[in-house]
Amino acid sequence: MTIKIETIIKKALKENSLALEEIISLLAIDDTADLEALYAAARDTRNHVTGHKVFLYGFVYFTTWCRNNCNFCYFRKSNDIDRYRKSPEDILGICEELAESGVHLIDLTMGEDESYHKDQFSSLFDSIKDIKLKTGLPIMISPGVVGDDLIDHFASIGTEWYALYQETHNPVLFKKLRTLQDYDLRMHAKIYAKEKGMLIEEGILTGVGETLEDIAHSMLEMGTIGAKQLRVMTFVPQEGIPMKAGKMANENLECKIIAILRLLYPHALIPASLDVEGIEGLSARMAAGANLITSIIPPKKGLSGVAQNGPEVAEEGRSVEQVSPILAEMGLEPATAEDYQNYMTMLRAEI
């Protein structure tokens, strides 16, 4: 192990804070022993906070219609694909099934579907109330950018989380990724949601032309805005979209980012998303310090992932049953719904 990396990891473990240059050095690690030391430090930090408990989120992508043209997304408006919009009855049924299977939260995700904007999201508000009543689970919404009045309403009906990923905190790169969208408006929405008492999730994409400095800067921004769930996903190339597979700055970048985020923010919820590499990618992300699994999808409901949207996802889904043995092999286990509620209370108290 190199002395420089050892010193930085020791500092992170002691202070839970690093300078931009130090984060860049960790992101640039190419020595195997250094990498293993980074992951081991991240795992220890996680185990110290959450023990061996892992949280599980059910994912419901309930409408794939979208008015935007993000260059990385399969569901961008200009992509000529089959789309769906689930009925409120279907949405409720899917959520009940997910709750039954043992998830701790329901993530209601959508494209920026004009039909929801037209009726001022009233049917989504109704769905949230019904789902809460029937499942008792907390809700995360991922509706894209919405106005302050709608955020007020989400907060007033007790929606726990607002997820809105900037993808990058480099405004020039943002413009290339989220064409014709406003950087400041997107930042404003999540900060406003936090002011209204909601917990917020921030996220970045890697493999989209970012530099290591961009990533390090994003990691510090995530703390500054007070996000309590911090996501990184590797860009997965899609058919019919303008962006081609980007050259990754180096190998294992997503896992390195998970590990460094864990060192900087020991209490944060940091997902291992099943949407990048499916179940096969789970153990590497958990070994890097993730404490949460997202994108659990029920089978045979015609639902899609975001980055993984092939027919096998709709048919086979990704279940609590599939992830549990993988966790067990690593000495980890699913938390209980009560553990998750307590964890949210702790995160809220930190705000």
User: What residues from 112 to 131 belong to the interface with ligand SF4 (CB under 6 A)?
Assistant: 112
User: What residues from 48 to 67 belong to the interface with ligand SF4 (CB under 6 A)?
Assistant: 66
Is 205 a binding residue for ligand SAM by CB under 6 A? The answer is yes
CB of 205 to ligand MD0, least distance (A): 10
CB of 121 to ligand SF4, least distance (A): 15
State the binding string over 247-286 for ligand SAM (x if CB under 6 A, else -).
----------------------------------------
Please select the residue that binds ligand SF4; options are 5, 12, 26, 73, rule is CB under 6 A. 73
Amino acid at 53: K
- Which among 62, 74, 101, 82 has a CA at the least distance from the CA of 301? 62
**With b meaning 16 or more CB within 10 Å and e meaning fewer, what string describes 219-234?**
bebbbeeebbbbbbbb
By CB under 6 A, the count of residues binding ligand SAM is: 18
d(CA 135, CA 99): 6
- Which among 306, 330, 74 has a CA at the least distance from the CA of 203? 306
Please select the residue that binds ligand MD0; options are 9, 128, 253, 306, rule is CB under 6 A. 306
- What is the sign, positive or negative, of the torsion defined by CA atoms of 299, 291, 331, 2? positive
Run of H or E residues at 264: helix 253-264
Please select the residue that binds ligand MD0; options are 8, 73, 106, 163, rule is CB under 6 A. 163
Nearer to ligand MD0 by Cβ, of 37 and 272: the residue is 272
Q: Which does 26 bind (CB under 5 to 8 A by kind): ligand SAM, ligand MD0, ligand SF4, none?
A: none
d(CA 103, CA 118): 31
State the binding string over 291-320 for ligand SAM (x if CB under 6 A, else -).
---------------xx-------------
Is 111 a binding residue for ligand SAM by CB under 6 A? The answer is yes
d(CA 226, CA 279): 30
Contact 235, 246 (CB under 8 A): yes
Contact 11, 22 (CB under 8 A): yes
Nearer to ligand SF4 by Cβ, of 52 and 188: the residue is 188
Nearer to ligand MD0 by Cβ, of 25 and 142: the residue is 142
Q: Residue 273 gets which letter from DSSP?
A: E
Q: Which stretch binds ligand SAM (CB under 6 A): 88-96, 119-127, 159-167, 292-300?
A: 159-167
User: What residues from 74 to 113 belong to the interface with ligand SF4 (CB under 6 A)?
Assistant: 75-76, 111-112
d(CA 38, CA 256): 8
Q: Which does 167 bind (CB under 5 to 8 A by kind): ligand MD0, ligand SF4, ligand SAM, none?
A: ligand SAM
CB of 237 to ligand SAM, least distance (A): 7
Distances (CA, A) of 246 to 165, 209, 211, 243, 295: 19, 6, 12, 8, 23
Distances (CA, A) of 117 to 112, 121, 170: 8, 6, 28
User: What residues from 129 to 158 belong to the interface with ligand MD0 (CB under 6 A)?
Assistant: 142
Rounded to 5 degrees, what are φ and ψ at 60? -125, 100
Binding site for ligand SF4 (CB under 6 A): 66, 68, 70, 73, 75-76, 111-112, 144
Binding site for ligand MD0 (CB under 6 A): 59, 107, 109, 142, 163, 273, 275, 294-295, 305-306
